[in-house]
Structure 1
């Protein structure tokens, strides 16, 4: 027989399934915390017991012991407001995704510059601060290095020059 509240003002009790889902979510967040480097971990202002448990989990190599430590971290996380921690983790993950997208944009521009001479003109129109003469020189040298099987010094320098020109957060448009 299922218990139902007699009064409408009483909240329904949280089901066992829901509690387990919440505990697993906290354990998953704990796994994300274990993956963080110590600098980022320090930025979160975690309680000392939780921070110590996370550092201990980083040292554990045995699967069973690590599983128990993860459960312990999940238990400690119940006493902490997890929302600000999750927001910070999401922000860091979003930032790294945005940074990765920017790096891919730079790589696409570099490949276009090496494949098509008109790409240099387009780059100059889109980013007027670009030093086209320097980019043309680096592009030519990168092509020569590739043909001569030399180390890709100019290829890398071209990428660094593009990093200076194209601001982070720029997006690739279809006509590029």
Structure 2
């Protein structure tokens, strides 16, 4: 009977060891995500100078395989001694912003394609959603794009139309 109790104790230790390992791997992964960020995005992260220095070093030695691997492990260890919730939150917000921008970008591409295909009706629809847009400018870009397409010229006006739609939508 006594032996069984020891066995239960071992199971608990195994669970907590594997749990610790999973947590350590999650911290390591979080560190790796930070290392992959651009300078601008990294500046927005709520991290201390010591961790920032370690991340920047990893970015500098990225092409030195063994040193980079060790530096990532070091960052992972550093992460274990920090409250990483604010960092994870900031990364999540950064990702969501990117997804929202992608969705808007695709919506604007659809507007552009519809305007190029349908003209005034589609322009009216865009103005309904974005009343601050300039109807004259939209019509002018539409006409230029039609002309360029008929003449087999590069679609400069179509690109200009997309740029204008993006300007209007992201103000």
Both proteins in one fold, TM over 0.5 = yes
* C-alpha RMSD of the superposition: 2.2
- CA offset digits 1:75-113 (Å, max 9, x no partner): 011111100011011111111111111111111100000
C-alpha displacement at 1:166, in angstroms? 3.0
Contact 2:32–2:72, Cα closer than 8 Å, also in 1: yes
User: Superposed, which structure 2 residues align to 1:1-176 within 5 Å?
Assistant: 1-3=7-9, 15-60=16-61, 61-117=63-119, 118-167=121-170
- CA offset digits 1:136-158 (Å, max 9, x no partner): 11012112223334333211221
Q: How many residues were matched structurally?
A: 161
More off after superposition, 82-91 vs 55-64? 55-64
Change (3 A) 1:124 1:49: closer
* Unaligned residue ranges in structure 1 (runs of 5+): 5-11, 169-176
2-structure distance, mates of 1:51, 1:128:
44
Contact 2:46–2:86, Cα closer than 8 Å, also in 1: no
The structure with more helix, counted as a fraction of residues: 2
Name the TM-score, length of structure 1 as normaliser. 0.80
The residue number in structure 1 matching 2:4 is none
C-alpha displacement at 1:45, in angstroms? 4.3
Name the TM-score, length of structure 2 as normaliser. 0.82
Change (3 A) 1:113 1:48: same
The residue number in structure 1 matching 2:3 is none
1-structure distance, mates of 2:66, 2:112:
48
* Unaligned residue ranges in structure 2 (runs of 5+): 1-6
Change (3 A) 1:128 1:47: closer
